[in-house]
Structure 1
Amino acid sequence: MDKKIGVIGLGIIGRVWAGHYAAAGVLGGTWNRTPRAEAPLPLGSPEAVARAVDVVQIVVADPAAVEAVLARVVPELGPGKVLVQSSTIDPQSSERFRAQVVATGARYLEAPFTGSKPAAEARQTVYYLGGEAGLVAELDALLGTVSSLRLHVGDHQQACALKLAMNLNIAAQMQALCEALTLVRRAGVADEVFFNALRPNVAYSGVTKLKEPKLRAEDYAPQFSVKHMLKDIRLSGLTASEGSSDPFAVRAAVLGRLAAADAQGYGEEDICALLKLLA
């Protein structure tokens, strides 16, 4: 790997990735809107990061945050630079952001991902890559530093749509799991019995495996927060409802539950806090 990468956005995932890049010797700098004492190779501004590296990777909260970062880094881009956009955004925003980047002569790769904090720590992130095949191949080793799998799914807008679809599925499973657990608890069935029965059942999933210990311990420390999933399900509506009345009943139901959890003050907690609404 002969490229240096910079990470802009040191939230739950970004700071883990930055640590992995640093350990591999490929990190050129980091920046976060709120300075973090533990940040590896912190630089004073996103502009400084863009100047110092070959590849700028953005992993922030939402399209508005990406737009704010791009307003500062785009003037520092040009031929030879690559912008990797790893925040979860909607396809329309991706189209707008890509146009800004390629107008400078730089290249753009949409790179949303799946995998919460434990997966990031274990380098088990999975990327959904949208962009030119040549660029995907060129960055494979670099992104492989923090991931176990990189799937080239199509163009930048398709990558965004796929990521939103994945999160809709996760949110729906999380709500169903919370309801199922509450149902059996009300019947006096022990958690151990419920999860032992669920493991050999066709409905058992990675979501269940990841969230079982948190649900049983009532541990709501965020792996994936309510507020971020709420944002993603809202963004999915921009794609799901285009051109017609909204037929996505599960999306609408999950959106309502996440909004209720956020309104109850659970926004910073893990999505398994949906269980609290059923207490």
Structure 2
Amino acid sequence: MSTGSFGFLGLGIMGTPMAKNLLAKGFSVTVWNRDSAKCASLVEAGAKQASSAAECVEASSITFAMLADPAAASAVVFGPKGVLEAMTAGKSYVDVSTVDDETALKIGEAITAKGGRFLEAPVSGSKGPAEQGQLIFLCAGDETLYSEITPQLDVMGKKSFFLGAVGAGARMKLVVNMTMGSMMGAFCEGMALAEKSGLEQSQLLEVLDLGAMANPMFKLKGPSVMKRAFPPAFPLKHAQKDMRLALALGDQLGQPLPVSATANEAYIRAKGAGHGDSDFAAVYEAVQTKP
């Protein structure tokens, strides 16, 4: 077990269970969140609470950050009482947020300019895998730091990949989530068409599960779609953000993404209809009605 001290910034659907898993394995953890009330359950579990991101970094040798989007990730690093104010040689920063590669590079350069080490490590997985310690880490940046934090990654996840220079982790995560978002859009269209064709959605799920298209996502989300109840495991607003960032990456690289662009429009409609905080399977609410 590492004797180092760890910080955790950002305590939402993903960050809180990740930090709890570190605490459960006996690691020393200091936490901070913009909404300080979200620290309460972790403090009860044994964490220390910092009053700012800077104080959290100051108290920790390695700080993890799970933040909502590029704007939040940048604000926590560059803003008042932010990460950079406390970053010095000997400290390390591991950003597990989903951001674009430009944001990852900007943050990484700022951390290393202050003498710190930086690793981007966005995760594939949602609320359930975060709680179960079954996330997949997509890492890039300082390979020595990656090797050092293997015990912590193993507590929070089932597999980690080192992909090379900073930016590769962000790009891999966007490709993964773009594929997942597009698949969910097609799945919800299939569920809607089955229902309107007079077919049982439950039977469609069974047929899909028996063939080459069988996958855990359809099996997991199918019942939610049938009930039209979408408790958030991966909020739709974050799924749409990832689709948007992936489409921007495609545009930057000259790669057409017509299927994903169409799926993104459905997520935009669902978010506009008030489903942004629901699970991303709530895109069903957009595809089962005319735009």
Which band: TM-score by shorter chain?
over 0.9
Quote the residue 1:251 is aligned against. 260
Of 280, 283, 289, which aligns to 1:271? 280
Instruction: Report the Cα offset of residue 75 of structure 1.
Output: 1.8
Instruction: Report the Cα offset of residue 135 of structure 1.
Output: 1.9
For the pair 1:144 / 2:147, whether they are aligned, the reply is no
Gaps of 5+ in 1: none
Q: How does 1:166-185 map to 2 (within 5 A)?
A: 166-185=176-195
Quote the residue 1:129 is aligned against. 139
For the pair 1:57 / 2:76, whether they are aligned, the reply is no
Matched residue type, 2:187: L
Q: Percent identity?
A: 28
Aligned partners of 2:230 and 2:279 also within 8 Å: yes
Quote the residue 1:38 is aligned against. 41
Aligned partners of 1:18 and 1:27 also within 8 Å: no
Matched residue type, 1:69: V
For the pair 1:238 / 2:241, whether they are aligned, the reply is no
Q: Give secondary structure in 1 for the equivalent of 2:41.
A: coil
**Counterparts of 2:223 and 2:192, CA distance in 1:** 15
Q: Give secondary structure in 2 for the equivalent of 1:56.
A: strand
Quote the residue 1:16 is aligned against. 17
Aligned partners of 1:8 and 1:56 also within 8 Å: yes
Of 193, 205, 222, which aligns to 2:232? 222
Matched residue type, 2:223: P
Q: 4+ residue runs of structure 1 moved beyond 4 angstroms?
A: none
Quote the residue 2:26 is aligned against. 25
Of 84, 102, 110, which aligns to 2:120? 110
**Counterparts of 2:219 and 2:115, CA distance in 1:** 44
Q: Give secondary structure in 2 for the equivalent of 1:242.
A: helix
RMSD (CA atoms): 1.3
Matched residue type, 1:39: L
Gaps of 5+ in 2: none
Aligned partners of 1:47 and 1:73 also within 8 Å: yes
For the pair 1:163 / 2:173, whether they are aligned, the reply is yes
**Counterparts of 2:151 and 2:200, CA distance in 1:** 46
**Counterparts of 1:237 and 1:105, CA distance in 2:** 34
**Counterparts of 1:187 and 1:27, CA distance in 2:** 56
**Counterparts of 2:100 and 2:117, CA distance in 1:** 19
User: Which range is displaced more, 268-277 or 32-41?
Assistant: 32-41
**Counterparts of 2:90 and 2:223, CA distance in 1:** 46
Q: Give secondary structure in 1 for the equivalent of 2:163.
A: strand
Instruction: Report the Cα offset of residue 243 of structure 1.
Output: 5.4
For the pair 1:73 / 2:83, whether they are aligned, the reply is yes
Of 89, 92, 111, which aligns to 1:101? 111
**Counterparts of 2:88 and 2:26, CA distance in 1:** 24
Instruction: Report the Cα offset of residue 263 of structure 1.
Output: 0.6
Instruction: Report the Cα offset of residue 211 of structure 1.
Output: 1.0
**Deviations for 1:126-154, whole angstroms, at most 9, x for unmatched residues?**
10011233221111112211111111122
For the pair 1:208 / 2:203, whether they are aligned, the reply is no
Instruction: Report the Cα offset of residue 217 of structure 1.
Output: 2.6
Instruction: Report the Cα offset of residue 220 of structure 1.
Output: 0.7
User: Which range is displaced more, 103-112 or 21-30?
Assistant: 21-30
Instruction: Report the Cα offset of residue 18 of structure 1.
Output: 1.2
Aligned partners of 1:101 and 1:108 also within 8 Å: yes
Matched residue type, 1:247: P
For the pair 1:92 / 2:102, whether they are aligned, the reply is yes
**Counterparts of 2:8 and 2:109, CA distance in 1:** 21
User: Which range is displaced more, 172-181 or 215-224?
Assistant: 215-224
Matched residue type, 1:61: A
